[in-house]
Amino acid sequence: PREHQEDKAFLETLLAEYAAQYYRAWNVKSRLYDGIKELLDTLVQRRIRMGVLSNKPQEATRRCVDYYLGDYTFAAVLGQQADRPPKPDPTGVRELVAHLEVPAESCCYLGDTAVDMHTALCAGMFAVGVTWGFRDIEELQDAGAQAIIHHPRELLPLINA
């Protein structure tokens, strides 16, 4: 029907405007969460391989990682691409694991949403919910988080276990 086409066109216009605004101001109020740099420094010292998987578009993901985390080396930085279904589909995380060159079962997957917890569990990873991010602890628990941490330093005992 015509109304559906008009709604779809309007939605596409809104999404294009949102993307344009995001690309102009993506880092205006953004910063690393407290403790992230120290955690990453420790992981690097311990030679623990790391990767990034985001539902943000690939270009935005790469730009953000380069800007905030440019001092660190990641096995892969994967943002959303047309040929890869978004999280929680396990396709992206399986690609990431291939770059990490370790079994999924030996990986911790940190995330701040139910989608992240579902992604980790679908891939057979240890799902770690973080409370300093986007969602609350109840959402993470309900989504099956196998551990909940409130500060990045709390990851280290989980890795040592």
pLDDT of residue 21: 83
Helix H or strand E segment including 25: helix 2-25
Task: Say if pTM beats, i.e. exceeds, 0.75.
Answer: yes
pLDDT of residue 137: 96
Write the Ramachandran bin of 17: left for phi over 0, alpha for psi from -120 to 50, otherwise beta: alpha
pLDDT of residue 26: 82
Report, in angstroms and rounded to the nearest whole number, the Rg of the chain calculated over CA atoms: 17
Q: How many CB atoms lie within 10 A of CB 152?
A: 21
Contact 95, 75 (CB under 8 A): no
Give the torsion through C-alpha atoms of 25, 31, 37, 38, to 10 deg.
Answer: -170
pLDDT of residue 161: 57
pLDDT of residue 27: 87
The string over 5-42, giving b where at least 16 C-beta atoms fall within 10 Å of a residue's C-beta and e elsewhere, is eeeeeeeeeeeeeeeeeeeeeeeeeeeeeeeeeebbee
Enumerate residue ranges in the chain where pLDDT < 70.
1-5, 161
pLDDT of residue 28: 86
Contact 82, 114 (CB under 8 A): no
pLDDT of residue 18: 83
pLDDT of residue 23: 77
